[in-house]
């Protein structure tokens, strides 16, 4: 698996500097990013998908299915519908040769899945993304 540096993380232009949660001389893998304590799950998912866009489409599909399963009550159906829409956008963008757009759409699907089942979604989504990242390498 590719070793990343702080410069690699900064290059994908996150909303805030990664040094907020990582030491200046940090090196690691995408899997290491997914394990960073204290950093919000949605931020770890976003940056991981930017660095491993090959995982975007299968992850978006997983999020869509996760949200649909969580949509047991009417309050969550909108989140489930948006997760399915975002998963479709991710697949379309990746097929069109736009992996960064695919990664963003997959992250949107994750946010929607999290909204559909806030209690358990973050941990389960992180575990699935780890599995998909391993398949990409």
Domain range annotation of the chain? 4-50, 54-136
Q: What is the pTM of this model?
A: 0.72
pLDDT band at 3 (very low <50, low <70, confident <90, very high): very high
User: By C-alpha distance, which of 94, 111, 119 is closest to 44?
Assistant: 111
Of the two residues 74 and 104, the one the predictor is more confident about is 104
pLDDT band at 39 (very low <50, low <70, confident <90, very high): very high
Give the side-chain half-sphere CA count within 13 A for 25.
0
Could you give the CA distance from residue 119 to residue 131 in angstroms, rounded to a whole number? 21
């Amino acid at each position: 698996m590719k070793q990343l540096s702080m410069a690699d993380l900064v290059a994908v232009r996150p909303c805030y500097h990664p040094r907020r949660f990582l030491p200046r001389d940090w090196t690691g893998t995408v899997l290491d990013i997914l394990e960073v304590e204290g950093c919000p799950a949605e931020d770890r998912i976003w940056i991981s998908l930017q660095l491993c866009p090959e995982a975007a489409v299968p992850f978006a599909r997983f999020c869509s299915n996760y949200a649909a399963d969580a949509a047991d009550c009417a309050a969550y159906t909108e989140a489930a519908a948006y997760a399915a829409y975002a998963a479709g956008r991710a697949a379309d963008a990746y097929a069109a040769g736009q992996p960064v757009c695919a990664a963003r759409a997959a992250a949107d699907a994750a946010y929607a899945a999290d909204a559909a089942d806030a209690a358990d979604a973050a941990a389960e989504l992180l575990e699935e993304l780890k599995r998909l990242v391993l398949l990409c390498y």
